[in-house]
Amino acid sequence: MRAPRRALTSAETTASETTSGGRPSRAEAEDAVRTLLRWAGDDPAREGLLDTPSRVVRSYEEFFSGYTEDPVEILKRTFKEVEGYDEMVVLKDIRFESHCEHHIAPIIGKAHVGYLPKCRVVGISKLARIVEIYARRLQIQEKLTAQIANTLQDVLDPKGVAVVVDAAHQCMTTRGVHKPGVTMVTSRMLGLFRTNPSTRREFLAMIATPSNHLHNV
């Protein structure tokens, strides 16, 4: 009888293998960081930078963990025992951190999410998780707003979904035009939030965002 194959340790796996789909190994990613350090004009072999490549790779695992999670799976568990509740459900001020896909610079802001249930609701933590999953990918704010809203509409099938995102982009506050204090506001309105002005106004009043400040996507 053949002995069971020993499982590779994390270090062995990342050092010796390239993951499926052509994704670079951890060792290759760390080498890329060393290249960038040299390109910036520093010496990755000096004491202060010796552990920087591994730290950067670990931070990237956290920053972009949204690629490893499925937002649809998160929303599959819903609750039907709501005593006929069919009014608006709103979760506001969901803080998120993302990165712009053009400069990999931080995007830091808040998302406000609302929906009108038909007969089922989802746990409120799941709304925050959806924001988090999409934020932890390379993004532009318009796409992030649409992804959150579209996923909620497709999976929950409510009467409508509303999403407003308000964020600061360090690609324009700390570089380029250098305009600190500027935020961008985007919105995505679906179902009754798009077709019924009073429903939309109620949502905007709940999150206290004037409608004339919105950039619809």
For the domain that residue 156 is a member of, what is the CATH number? 3.30.1130.10
Same structural domain for residues 135 and 109? yes
**For residue 10, what pLDDT is reported?**
36
In this structure, the strands spanning 121-122 and 78-79 are antiparallel
In this structure, is residue 103 part of a structural domain? yes
Mean pLDDT over the full length of the chain: 88
Residue 38: domain span: 12-63
Same structural domain for residues 96 and 190? yes
**For residue 4, what pLDDT is reported?**
41
φ/ψ region of 104 (left if φ > 0, alpha if ψ in -120 to 50, else beta) reads left
In this structure, is residue 68 part of a structural domain? no
Same structural domain for residues 92 and 16? no
In this structure, is residue 6 part of a structural domain? no
Same structural domain for residues 117 and 18? no
Same structural domain for residues 104 and 24? no
What DSSP designation does 164 have? E
Of residues 177, 77, 166, the one with CA closest to residue 127? 77
Identify the three-state secondary structure at position 38: helix
Same structural domain for residues 40 and 109? no
- pTM for the structure as a whole: 0.84
Q: Are 111 and 161 in contact (CB under 8 A)?
A: no
pLDDT above 90 covers a percentage of the chain that reads: 73
In this structure, is residue 1 part of a structural domain? no
In this structure, is residue 56 part of a structural domain? yes
Residue 19 has pLDDT above 90, yes or no: no
Residues with catalytic roles: 100-103, 141, 169, 171
Residue 113 has pLDDT above 70, yes or no: yes
Residue 72 has pLDDT above 90, yes or no: yes
Residue 215 has pLDDT above 80, yes or no: no
Same structural domain for residues 85 and 23? no
In this structure, is residue 98 part of a structural domain? yes
Q: Which two tokens stand for residue 186?
A: 């985007």
Same structural domain for residues 27 and 93? no
Mean pLDDT computed over 158-170:
96
Give the CATH number, domain containing residue 29.
1.10.286.10
Residue 95 has pLDDT above 50, yes or no: yes
Same structural domain for residues 38 and 90? no
As a whole number of angstroms, the distance between CA 94 and CA 166 comes to 10
**For residue 166, what pLDDT is reported?**
97
In this structure, is residue 54 part of a structural domain? yes
Same structural domain for residues 125 and 21? no
Same structural domain for residues 118 and 38? no
Same structural domain for residues 184 and 95? yes
**For residue 20, what pLDDT is reported?**
52
In this structure, is residue 190 part of a structural domain? yes
Tokens 């920053």 locate to 63
Please tell me the total count of domains within the chain: 2
